[in-house]
Structure 1
Amino acid sequence: MIHEAWFTFKGVDSREMGVIVTAMPETVRAERRIESITVAGRNGSLHTDEGVYESYDRTMECALIKRAKLDEVTAWLVGSGEMTFSTEPDKVYRVTIANKISIAQMMRVFQKFQVILDTQPFKYSVNAAGDALELTAPTTIRNSGTVYSEPLITVYGSGDITLTINGADFPLYGVEESITIDSEMMEVFKGNANQNGKYGGADFPRFEVGQNEISWTGNVSKIKIQPRWRWL
């Protein structure tokens, strides 16, 4: 039943806030960024595929049943954070809420109000901690998502190290104890210290859908990976 629908935002459950969902947002797939090019004298068009996806808006309809929580709810439903839905409890969306919400509507019990979700293109595993990997020897890992992932990789070791994923090399120079590669942010660091100068890769590591071979050379004791599996 619809009154049993719920969502979480920034770790807070809508049921705890006295908010019920009267209409869940539509489930859609993100649009791929493809540029269409028309060439004079040529039939049809050419397409440039950047291999990336656009964010998109979705609308959720809610109602407030605990007027005493009005101020808390309006302060909660704003800004950026992770959101899960009862319709997909195993997935996490990254959303931003910026639309105005009618306080007058919220003050009337069961009066509906809309929450517009500026949604990033991918959804992630709700069990990110459980998906974490620790490697002490070369191996093969499987990406069971529907799109390549941009992992967070921490290499523990020293000196010059080369990480190899699916035949592509990602060199690291002068490592001292550990170094972290964040493929999503395109940054290399140790703690709060920028280490981009110690990275020699032309691109950043990614795990393709399916099997991925991982190996390395150099003085490495272990590698910790947050794979960030994701789905469209």
Structure 2
Amino acid sequence: MRYGYDLEYAGVRAESLGIYVVRRPDIPAPEYDMEAIVIPGRDGVLHKDNHRYHPIEITIEFNYLEKPEAWAEKWRHVKRWLSARNARLCLSDDADYFYHVYAVRLETNARTARELGTFSAVFSCDPYQYLKTGEMEQEQDLADADLLAADGSPILETGGEQILTTCRMAVLQNPFDGCCPLFRITGEGTCSFSVNGNWMEAAVDGEIFIDTEREAAYTPKGELAGRKVSGDYRAMRFLPGHNELTTSGDFTIYITPRWREV
């Protein structure tokens, strides 16, 4: 029954439950959400770009061997395991990535032999694959930002020394697709910070989390703190390539980037 291929869902490996993947699953490509608009009397169609991908479904076939008197109990274990929602799916042949799964739909458990059960599970997933390394929080090394003229040249004092702003800046390189980072800011007072020139303000009383995916702010205890934040959450997301983080004041910023790829 061992095939050398396994998966992990909601932190539990299939093989640890005596459940085995019959074959490697086919992974569908996400479909980009481009809406066609038909205008009567006009040739062709117009297209509305919704700037997103549709979710995908990954179907995986499993089987297991169990004594006849324990066969039904095994199926109950399977149903409990795959009832988890908003969990991670990790495939053993793509160990550096995982999928965000919204929910799992189970199909009929077929008793193909006296001790053999076979069933399929359909995993409804976010269209992106997420890197495990993107789930690691990193403190940002912020350096004093230079004060520049309109042509990009540094502004100097009379003595020739370069004038620095009160802001600090860090450059982040995103080699993947656009992503929705989680910011954790520590300090006291009002923190103004920007991503690529898009500013946000947060009233920080020790610590606050700003989640650009959920478009919400919350305290370390998980209490919503949206009233303490002003700005556009979506504008704080990272673009592919070069991203600039700027802040003012004596605050420490930690970022969980949530790197992802289609």
Would you say same fold, with TM above 0.5? Answer: yes
Q: Are residues 207 and 107 of structure 1, via their aligned partners in 2, closer, same or farther at CA, if it must alter by over 3 Å?
A: farther
Asked whether the equivalents of residues 19 and 66 of structure 1 are also in contact (C-alpha less than 8 Å), the reply is no
- Larger Rg over CA atoms: 2
Letter in 1 for 2:23: A
Among candidates 108, 111, 128, match of residue 105 of structure 1: 111
Among candidates 218, 232, 244, match of residue 189 of structure 1: 218
Distance 1:109 1:24 in 2: 23
State the secondary structure of the residue aligned to 1:89: coil
State TM-score, norm by structure 1: 0.88
Partner of 1:40: 40
Letter in 1 for 2:209: T
Partner of 1:126: 132
Letter in 2 for 1:168: N
Partner of 1:179: 208
How many residues are paired up?
227
Question: How much does 1:86 deviate?
Answer: 1.6
Partner of 2:246: 215
What is the alpha-carbon root mean square deviation over aligned residues? 2.2
Among candidates 123, 138, 148, match of residue 178 of structure 2: 148
- Quick one: percent identity of the two aligned structures? 26
State TM-score, norm by structure 2: 0.79
In the alignment, structure 1 segments of 5+ residues that lack a partner are: none
Distance 2:23 2:139 in 1: 41
Question: How much does 1:109 deviate?
Answer: 4.3
Question: How much does 1:211 deviate?
Answer: 1.8
Question: How much does 1:231 deviate?
Answer: 1.2
Partner of 1:224: 254
Deviations 1:137-183 (A, max 9, x none): 121112222x21111101112222211111211122x3212221011
Please identify which structure carries the higher strand content. 1
State the secondary structure of the residue aligned to 1:71: helix
Asked whether the equivalents of residues 216 and 226 of structure 2 are also in contact (C-alpha less than 8 Å), the reply is yes
Among candidates 196, 203, 207, match of residue 166 of structure 1: 196
Question: How much does 1:194 deviate?
Answer: 2.1
State the secondary structure of the residue aligned to 2:179: coil
Distance 1:3 1:110 in 2: 16
